[in-house]
Amino acid sequence: MSGFRWLHDYLAALEGEHVVLREEADPHTLPPAHRLMVDGEDWGSAAKVSAAFGHRHAGVWGEHIGDWIIVRACLAFEGDYLVLETPVSPQRPVLPSHSPYYSGIDRLERHLQDMLGVAFLDHPDSRRWTRHQAWPEGSYPLRHESPASGTPPKRTPADSDYPFVEVLGSGVYQIPVGPVHAGIIEPGHFRFHAVGEDVLRLEQRLGYVHKGIEKIAEGRDPEGLARLAGRISGDTTVAHTWAACMAMERAYDVSVPPLALAIRAILAERERIANHLGDIGAICNDVGFAFAHMQCARLREQWQRGNQSVFGHRLLMDRIVPGGVFRTLTYQCAELLKTQNQDLSKELDSLLPILEDQPSLQDRLANTGVLAAEDARRLGVTGYVGKASGMDYDVRRDHAYAPYDRLTVESPCLSAGDVAARVQVRASEIRHSLGLLNCLMENLPKGPVQAEWTQPAKAIEGIGVVEGWRGEIVTYVRLGEDGRVQRFFARDPSWFSWPALEQLIHGNIVADFPVCNKSVNASYSGHDL
């Protein structure tokens, strides 16, 4: 981390645009980010300055506090995080949009509009995003007056009138896919416009599995919030729980024991490896290379059985708790994990060269679903999607948090931006994760695995930033004087990778959509809070 060395120049740039800053809050109240209070009229100008400065937009959310709706935007730069904050009146909740400068923030602003009723001027799309027809006009679930159960009708009307954008022209036709699919994946609608086999436009409609996570988090204690965070997206239970606990621990100023931090990293890297194995196999299967699918499925199954044997859960759910982890790692369990690392490494020595040298496979993956570096930067994607398109950012390295701050984190970065590159990044991350696991288990600290948890007599807040297996997760938590959650927001990487899928499918044929989609593998559930 750079320690905000750039902040003086940024403040000068804001002053040059005549951006009015309110009296700044105590910078220690939102660790580890720096906070700037912006006048509402200058909300858009602040985004303009930030975009010109090179900030990446990492998320926007709001909160109904007393007589105000507080809107916050998180920006990232050189491993640091900056939060812009402004209040708006619930009677006239209007702000300039950030989307003219950060197109990837489009859907998060629409989500904020649906949940809290904040309207964004100059926003390119005012259609509902999250709510569909579950709440009537003028009802906003995250406002104080709205109950967690809402006021649903006996039967929610079908969302059949959603105005998809139409592409007109000779020979243009539409292909609707979903929201219910043939497999067991979650629901999402994809509307293609094509001429012949060539895709002209893809438009997504998500939000079908909206769970009300943000609302039902209110009033929970730290343990209850950790369990809820682990259920945002089942394949990312470790990373989301870690980010939520990190936010609370920073707010409480709790020092997690070194052994607990090492075990958390072991859990996170095992989660990363399991998901990358599954994705590599599924990508190969989508182009008819069933051999790789079978082998990766076998290796993933063995890996998850190891999770069950050592940690008691195949997906590692509820293994991270506020202040630490659920239990220590015995010598015998550590030895078992080391053996599994060695076995998987040997298997990959045989399997990965086959994939790299298979002409028919590479013919389908290379130059398919290309996401240009410019588009990746514009949309703000992170993780393997961003790394395959030249976005060299990894939270473990660039915003290093314990125990990664004492490890060498190798983060692959390629430039091709195609499906083949996204497979290569996954394969490299598996190798690097195995190395991290070996290092962690060879140097396990001694001591307890949970910290003391003392409730301060004031409201507190914090931000957790974790490198999940899909990329950067940003989580905000505010707790009241009673230690209960007042606001919880978890921004999954999928908020930015879903729009990337719409972009990278351009110029491909319809038949290549399944493999393009799988190469991104954004989470429906992680997006549909």
Average pLDDT for 164-168: 91
Distance, in Å, from the CA atom of 247 to the CA atom of 33, rounded to the nearest integer, reads: 11
Average pLDDT for 290-302: 96
What was the pLDDT predicted at 248?
Answer: 95
Average pLDDT for 322-351: 95
Average pLDDT for 98-110: 95
What was the pLDDT predicted at 154?
Answer: 74
What was the pLDDT predicted at 31?
Answer: 83
Q: Which of 406, 412, 348 is CA-nearest to residue 383?
A: 412
Domain residue ranges in the chain: 7-121, 213-527
* Sign of CA pseudo-dihedral 454, 491, 279, 374: negative
What was the pLDDT predicted at 314?
Answer: 96
pTM of the model: 0.95
Q: How confident is the model at residue 156 (pLDDT cuts 50, 70, 90)?
A: confident
Average pLDDT for 478-490: 93
List the single range of 124-128, 248-252, 376-380, 423-427 with lowest mean pLDDT.
124-128
Reduced 3-state DSSP string for 271-285: HHHHHHHHHHHHHHH
* Sign of CA pseudo-dihedral 88, 94, 99, 101: negative
Which two structure tokens, joined as six digits, stand for 460?
Answer: 């507190």
Superfamily of domain 7-121: NADH:ubiquinone oxidoreductase Nqo5 subunit (3.30.460.80)
Q: How confident is the model at residue 150 (pLDDT cuts 50, 70, 90)?
A: confident
Q: Is pLDDT of 28 > 70?
A: no
Assigned CATH topology for domain 213-527: Cytochrome-c3 Hydrogenase; chain B (1.10.645)
The per-residue pLDDT for range 191-239, each reduced to its tens digit, is 999 999 999 999 999 988 889 999 999 999 999 999 999 999 999 999 9
Q: How confident is the model at residue 185 (pLDDT cuts 50, 70, 90)?
A: confident
Average pLDDT for 113-128: 92
Q: How confident is the model at residue 348 (pLDDT cuts 50, 70, 90)?
A: very high
Strand, helix or coil at 323?
coil
What was the pLDDT predicted at 94?
Answer: 94
What was the pLDDT predicted at 24?
Answer: 58
Q: Is pLDDT of 25 > 60?
A: no
Q: Is pLDDT of 29 > 90?
A: no
Q: Is pLDDT of 131 > 90?
A: no
Q: Is pLDDT of 362 > 60?
A: yes
Secondary structure element (H or E) that encloses residue 64, with its range: strand 56-65
Q: Are 256 and 334 in contact (CB under 8 A)?
A: no
What was the pLDDT predicted at 153?
Answer: 67
Average pLDDT for 418-432: 97
What was the pLDDT predicted at 328?
Answer: 94
What was the pLDDT predicted at 184?
Answer: 76
What was the pLDDT predicted at 342?
Answer: 97
Burial of 176: CB neighbours in 10 Å, binned 0-12, 13-18, 19+: exposed
Q: Is pLDDT of 36 > 60?
A: yes
Average pLDDT for 35-43: 92
What was the pLDDT predicted at 2?
Answer: 61
Secondary structure element (H or E) that encloses residue 286, with its range: helix 258-286
What was the pLDDT predicted at 161?
Answer: 82
What was the pLDDT predicted at 23?
Answer: 59
Average pLDDT value for the chain = 92
What was the pLDDT predicted at 429?
Answer: 97
